[in-house]
């Protein structure tokens, strides 16, 4: 009979010493910085979208 083959090689086996916890970063303002970055990106996208709409409307309006 053949020996049972392990589904993962030993090099791919999970490390028992690793914890499944979220690492706490040293930056106390990490969440605030993330919220500010999200706000900036949303405002940037909205601004670009409005500029695109105004540009297309102006171009279409001049052609008529």
pLDDT of residue 19: 59
Average pLDDT, the chain: 80
Confidence band for 21, pLDDT divided at 50, 70 and 90 = low
CB 33 within 8 Å of CB 27: yes
- State the residue range of the domain holding 38: 29-64
Question: 33-59: per-residue pLDDT in tens?
Answer: 999 999 999 999 999 999 999 999 998
4 in any annotated domain: no
For the question of whether the overall pTM of this predicted structure is more than 0.85, the answer is no
33 in any annotated domain: yes
57 in any annotated domain: yes
């Amino acid at each position: 009979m053949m020996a049972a083959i392990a589904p993962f090689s030993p090099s791919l086996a999970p490390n028992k010493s690793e914890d499944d916890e979220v690492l706490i970063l040293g930056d106390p303002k990490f969440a605030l910085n993330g919220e500010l970055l999200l706000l900036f990106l949303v405002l940037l996208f909205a601004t670009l979208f409005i500029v695109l709409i105004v540009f297309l409307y102006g171009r279409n309006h001049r052609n008529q």
